[in-house]
Amino acid sequence: MRRRREMTIDEASGATRERRRLRERRGVRQFVANRAAVVSVCFLLALVLLAFLAPLVATHDPDEQNLLNKFQSPSAEHWLGADLYGRDLFSRLVYSSRVTLLAMLQGLAVASSLGITLGLIAGYAGGVADALLSRVSDAIMALPPMILALAIAGILGAGLTNAMIAIGVVLAPPQFRLARGAAQSVASETYIEACRAIGCSPGRILWRHVLPNISSPLLIQTTFAAGVIVIAEASLSFLGLGVQPPQSSWGVMLRAAFDSIYQAPWMVLAPTVMISLTILALSTFGDGLRDSLEGRGRTRSKRRRERVESAARSSV
Amino acid sequence: MIAYAARRLLSAVPLLFFLSLFVFLLFELMPADAAVISAGENATPEQIEQVRENLGLNEPLWSRYFDWAGGLLHGDLGTSLFSSQSVTSTILERLPVTASLALVSMVLVVLIGLPLGVMAARHPNSWLDRGLSSFASLCMSVPPFVLGLLLAVAFGILLPWFPPTGYTSVADGGISGWLSSLVLPAIAVAAVPIAELARQTRGSFLDVLGADHVRATRAKGMPEGSVVLKHGAKNAAVPIVTVLGLQVNRILGGSVTVEFVFALPGFGALAVRSVVQQDLPMVLGIVAVSAVIVVVVNILTDLSYGLLNPRMRR
């Protein structure tokens, strides 16, 4: 009995399901028409594929040392040359894409689980919890992200996971604000009241009725956050606080290039290209998503405000 | 205006108080133990206990917070765990280098970003506009330290035009020595802010130049130059100043890695060193000082809104 009633209310909350489906289809069409965005998606998919197929793509064992090849410049044998220990740079570059993906997953997991969960709770519960959590989020946003991430990562101890916990904490506030705003704005809606009246738990209300409302801004936010994570991973690994050698990442490779910058300056190029292309692809993808998901019904000044806000968010 | 400024300044007090509490508690929650770090690797438990007592770590949490926050108000941030130097004086020693870097970068940002944005807005959708927009996207995709590495290789090593590492103060090398040691790092730090400012400027000017009152000034025959500068600039200024204010945050963050690349003995390099050494009071001081800098810049940005747009003084 209770179950059937609840279904109807679920349907009522998505009363415009048909209209939504049409809108989604239009959004997909608009996204596909954006050539830059499609190219970026292809690049990102290729990157994922590269990470999974790394053993097949790599021409050498990434950790195999051969001092005879020390600082060898690019050749048929070593496509991108070899480093101080004669390790093949192409293979190291390929294997490093795994670290980048892992870093993205870890960082986003921390940022989203902290930001979204606490945001929904703060917005729905209000009161002291909301006041306190909002202050904390404001405090994090008032600090320069890179310095805060550096401090947290360093004191937790060097390592990829710690670095990503740090960057996750720094990136949580935007997600927190989104989730909190959404929870707050619907908390007094009739359909939420109806859910409560028939005995839905707060968890179910937040999960099934509040969260879907903000799925598209969250998705966009997440794409931009992924770009920040790539920068942060590279920066922290470069400084020796992220991925630890001999394990390789693009940041670690840049550090190796930096340490032998006088002997083999060309070593800087390959990781630079990969890092920049990945960041470019993520931001282009994010822009495309935003245009297709939120393109309509927004005035120019609102879009401008969003640009300012996203500039504020993406600053590391 | 004075009332507006006073209100804005007062509103920063609770934020700063909460920030200090937050930062202090954050470090309290960290697994690192100042006594263990300070006592060194081979310390016996008794020695660690002794150090803990000396550092005052056995005091209750709230009394340590008030000690620290009270010191903060007097400009005393405690003592480094390693050099037994005062944190405040170490940071003050380093700040001029970072301030120089920030100054040169900010000059580059304004001198390059603004004209590029205005030019793009004057000819929307021209090849110039599209080229600038692609260039901006590209700039924003290269993290500052990566650009720094590229610049160091290209213009420090392959073409030795500028010193690839090190800092020369004005006292040591005169203005030209000082400037040439800062050119490459400043470009590295400024690239992303330049792109962002250019984008924002373009957007703001496009909005304003399409407005009715601007069309009216054109219609009455005002020269295009004064239309853009007199009527465009004033109205486009608020969002541009906002973005400019945000860049200070970015430059502070960028200085961390860029100073490391160019071996500049600044605030960012100090942050990296202290974090690697786990020098807790130093790191805490660095975070606190950067928070104060950001809050002050935000206040200045807000005050400039009041100057630019009297309606915002409410």
Q: Taking the domains of chain B in order of start, what are their residue ranges?
A: 2-73, 96-313
Nearest neighbour of A265 by CB, restricted to B19, B157, B294: B157
Domain A2-315 grouped into CATH 1.10.3720.10: yes
Of B22, B32, B246, the CB nearest to A136: B22
CA distance B185 to chain A (A): 15
pLDDT tens figures, B237-249: 888 888 888 888 8
Measured distance between the N- and C-terminal CA atoms of chain A, rounded to whole angstroms: 53
So what's the ipTM on this one?
0.86
Peptide bond into A246 cis (omega under 30): yes
pLDDT at A44: 93
Is residue A315 scored above 50 in pLDDT?
no
Question: What predicted TM-score, i.e. pTM, was given to this entire model?
Answer: 0.85
Helices of type H across chain A: 2-13, 17-33, 35-52, 54-57, 89-125, 127-142, 145-156, 160-186, 190-197, 202-204, 215-238, 250-259, 269-294, 300-313
Residue A6 confidence (pLDDT): 47
pLDDT band at B49 (very low <50, low <70, confident <90, very high): confident
Interface test with A, best of B19, B30, B95, B275 (most A CBs within 10 A): B275
d(CA B202, CA B133) in angstroms, rounded, equals 10
Number of residue pairs across A and B with CB atoms under 8 Å? 156
The residues, any chain, with a CB within 8 Å of residue B256's CB and separated by 6 or more, are A146, A147, A150, A235, A239, B268, B269, B271, B272
> What is d(CA B66, CA B29) in angstroms, rounded to the nearest whole number?
17
Structure tokens belonging to residue B104:
């040169």
Domain B96-313 in CATH 2.60.40.10? The answer is no
Searching chain B, which residue's CA lies closest to the CA of residue A36? Answer: B134
Q: Are the beta carbons of B276 and A154 separated by less than 8 Å? A: yes
Dihedral, A228, A230, A234, A239 alpha carbons, nearest 10: 40
Q: Please name which of B290, B254, B288, B286 lies closest in space to residue B273, comparing C-alpha atoms.
A: B286
Q: What is the Cα–Cα distance from B174 to B184, expressed in whole angstroms?
A: 17
Hey, is A262 helix, strand or coil? coil
CA gap B87, B77 in Å, rounded: 6
pLDDT over 60 at B89, yes or no:
yes
Q: What is the pLDDT of residues B135-168, one digit of tens each?
A: 888 888 999 999 999 999 999 888 888 888 878 8
Render pLDDT for A46-93 as a digit per residue (tens, 0 to 9).
999 998 888 887 777 777 777 777 777 777 777 777 777 778 888 888
Partner residue facing B143 (CB), from A138, A235, A262: A235
The pLDDT tens digits of the residues spanning A169-213 come to 999 999 999 899 888 888 778 888 888 888 888 888 888 888 887
Over residues A221-242, the pLDDT tens digits come to 899 899 999 999 999 999 988 8
Tell me how close the Cα of B243 comes to any Cα of chain A, in angstroms. 7
- CA distance linking residue B134 with residue B127, whole number of Å: 11
Mean pLDDT across B100-109: 92
Minimal Cβ distance to B260: which of A239, A277, A311:
A239
Query: A267 or B313, which is more confident?
Result: A267
Question: Which residue from B32, B142, B200 is facing A155, i.e. has the nearest CB?
Answer: B32
* Every domain of chain A and the residues it spans: 2-315
- Read off the pLDDT of residues A260-300 as tens digits, 9 standing for 90 and up: 888 888 888 889 999 999 999 999 998 888 888 775 444 45
- Provide the pLDDT for residue A308: 55
Asked if A315 lies within 8 A of B249 by C-beta distance, the reply is: yes
Token pair of B179 as six digits = 């400037």
Arithmetic mean of pLDDT over chain B: 86
Residues from chain A that touch B157, judged by Cβ atoms under 8 A, are 261-262, 265
Our CA dihedral for A125, A126, A127, A130, rounded to 10 degrees, sits at 100
The A residues from 96 to 155 touching B (CB cutoff 8 Å) are 135-136, 138-140, 142-148, 150-155
